[in-house]
């Protein structure tokens, strides 16, 4: 099957498709440049570090869905990892006012002083402890914060514990930083949360970090203060050298009265070995602005800033102006609440619409904007589909439903369904899914 035309999702996620990042493309030196018709006699190779990095499965789904839309197909996409809202108006106004009055030059590598102070105030309000400018680094998105942290803290042999299901980029960023991802499964009977006994089983003297994303992408699962403390106590007892890495990017988006607790508060008296990654992308519908921040020990922030200074020179100045408004303007806090309430309503609607669909189980999430659908009855032995990737491919190609299979998240037998889209599309999508799975159930 050629990669240049019609591409199936299963093929896009395989190593044989160079168009969407398959490994085969990394070793095929067919590029021609310079004098027309002159072939390079010494092709530029891709190094082993880059070859070890897997392509993003979510990007592959998005690419195929967009290709179908371009062909005129009525695709309903639930693969998005970003809000469908506009940023708060005060954010847009702040950027427009700035660029109309000022030249747009570099900021300091660590971030604009006013933004560092705004981040410090925001983190202190949540975590209940003071943060200073030298403990904060503004980055080009939370993903950049994570990558920078791993680049300056991991050495060969260092291990990073990653609970599965996990965000697809965690293992690859650990490898890029030179460490080893250690994946530990979160069992359904524990609500897809990391259990203390499972964590204890994988901790070693080489454990550098335990990653905790709460609420979690892809599951929406969040941890209570008691659950956080139980994990922290295991870390302090079994691997006292390990640090807890809290990815808090979805912390504003929690529902049904769930209280999102700070790890610093939950682990008070247990450990202070906590690094925080946060940002405005998800909470303020500002994914395109690419602003995240890393909070940790001063020497780690200083090292990450040195690396950032040699790679990006810092986050875009206009994006930082936008983030200052997001974190300081009262109207932005009100906008976040409105968006959260809209997500909560969609979540409730989808749980109702999915009820009773044959072979589908879904656990109500505490946060984020995803439902993690258990479709294990429809895949594997004695079924039509070998795995969740094959089922997701069928849903996209035959029913024009774009979801993300669970395998890239470390959770075979699941689909991630984003409800970060309009209610009409969500209702129509639920109808298509019900029809598709009912067809499978009927044989």
Bridge pairing between strands 292-295 and 274-279: antiparallel
Q: What would the mean pLDDT of 54-66 be, rounded to a whole number?
A: 78
On the question of pLDDT at 30 being above 50, the answer is no
For 392-403, write each residue's pLDDT tens digit. Answer: 999 999 999 999
On the question of pLDDT at 302 being above 70, the answer is yes
The highest-level CATH class for domain 57-86+333-442 is: alpha beta
On the question of pLDDT at 3 being above 60, the answer is no
Please give the pLDDT value at position 9.
60
Please give the pLDDT value at position 239.
98
Q: When comparing pLDDT for 6 and 354, which is higher? A: 354
Please give the pLDDT value at position 148.
97
What tokens does 409 get?
């998240």
**Are residues 275 and 77 in contact, defined by beta-carbon separation less than 8 angstroms?**
no
List Cβ<8 Å contacts ≥24 apart for 355-362. 357/433, 357/434, 357/437, 357/438, 358/437, 358/438, 358/440, 358/441, 359/437, 359/440, 359/441, 360/433, 360/437
For 93-118, write each residue's pLDDT tens digit. Answer: 999 999 999 999 999 999 999 999 99
Please give the pLDDT value at position 32.
46
For 355-374, write each residue's pLDDT tens digit. Answer: 999 999 999 999 999 999 99
What tokens does 257 get?
């009265």
- Alpha-carbon span 308 to 201, nearest angstrom: 35
Q: What would the mean pLDDT of 19-26 be, rounded to a whole number?
A: 39
The residues spanned by each domain of the chain are 9-51, 57-86+333-442, 103-328
On the question of pLDDT at 5 being above 90, the answer is no
Please give the pLDDT value at position 8.
56
For 431-441, write each residue's pLDDT tens digit. Answer: 999 999 999 99
Q: What would the mean pLDDT of 110-128 be, rounded to a whole number?
A: 98
Q: How many residues does the chain have?
A: 443
Per CATH, the architecture of 103-328 is what?
A: 3-Layer(aba) Sandwich (3.40)
Please give the pLDDT value at position 196.
98
Q: What would the mean pLDDT of 289-301 be, rounded to a whole number?
A: 98
pLDDT tier for residue 241 given thresholds of 50, 70 and 90: very high
For 309-341, write each residue's pLDDT tens digit. Answer: 999 999 999 999 999 999 999 999 999 999 999
On the question of pLDDT at 206 being above 60, the answer is yes
Q: Which helix (H) or strand (E) holds 367?
A: none
On the question of pLDDT at 138 being above 60, the answer is yes
Please give the pLDDT value at position 25.
40
359: left (phi > 0), else alpha (psi -120 to 50), else beta?
Answer: left
Please give the pLDDT value at position 12.
56
Q: Which helix (H) or strand (E) holds 252?
A: none
């Amino acid at each position: 099957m050629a990669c240049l035309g019609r591409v199936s999702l299963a093929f896009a996620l395989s190593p044989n498709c160079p168009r969407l990042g398959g490994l085969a493309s990394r070793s095929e030196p067919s590029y021609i440049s310079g004098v027309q018709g002159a072939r390079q006699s010494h092709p530029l190779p891709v190094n082993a570090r880059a070859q070890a990095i897997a392509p993003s499965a979510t990007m592959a789904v998005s690419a195929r869905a967009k290709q179908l839309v371009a062909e005129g197909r009525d695709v309903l996409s639930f693969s998005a990892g970003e809000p469908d809202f506009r940023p708060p108006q005060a954010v847009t106004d702040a950027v427009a006012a700035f660029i109309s009055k000022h030249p747009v030059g570099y900021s300091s590598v660590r971030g604009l002083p006013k933004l560092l102070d705004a981040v410090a105030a925001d983190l202190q309000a949540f975590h209940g402890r003071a943060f200073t400018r030298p403990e904060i680094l503004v980055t080009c998105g939370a993903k950049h914060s994570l990558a920078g942290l791993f680049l300056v803290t991991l050495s060969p042999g260092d291990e990073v514990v990653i609970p599965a299901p996990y965000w697809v980029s965690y293992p690859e960023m650990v490898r890029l930083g030179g460490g080893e991802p250690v994946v530990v499964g979160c069992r359904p009977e524990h609500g897809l949360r990391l259990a203390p006994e499972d964590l204890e089983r994988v901790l070693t003297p080489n454990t550098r970090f335990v990653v905790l994303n709460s609420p979690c992408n892809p599951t929406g699962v969040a941890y209570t203060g008691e659950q956080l403390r139980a994990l922290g106590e295991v870390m302090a007892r079994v691997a006292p050298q390990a640090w807890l890495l809290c990815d808090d990017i979805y912390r504003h988006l929690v529902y049904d009265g769930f209280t999102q607790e700070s790890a610093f508060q939950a682990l008070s008296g247990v450990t202070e070995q906590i690094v925080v990654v946060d940002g405005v992308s998800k909470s303020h519908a500002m994914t395109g602005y690419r602003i995240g921040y890393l909070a940790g020990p001063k020497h780690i922030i200083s090292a990450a800033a040195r690396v950032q200074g040699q790679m990006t020179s810092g986050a875009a100045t206009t994006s930082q102006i936008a983030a200052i408004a997001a974190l300081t303007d009262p109207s932005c806090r009100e906008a976040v609440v409105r968006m959260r309430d809209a997500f909560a309503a969609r979540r409730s609607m989808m749980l109702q619409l999915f009820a009773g669909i044959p072979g589908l189980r879904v656990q109500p999430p505490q946060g984020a904007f995803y439902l993690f659908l258990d479709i294990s009855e429809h895949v594997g032995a004695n079924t039509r589909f070998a795995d969740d990737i094959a089922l997701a491919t069928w849903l996209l190609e035959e029913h024009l439903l774009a979801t993300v299979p669970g395998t890239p998240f470390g959770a075979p037998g699941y689909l991630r369904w984003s409800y970060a889209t309009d209610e009409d599309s969500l209702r129509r999508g639920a109808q298509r899914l019900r029809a598709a799975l009912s067809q499978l159930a009927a044989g």
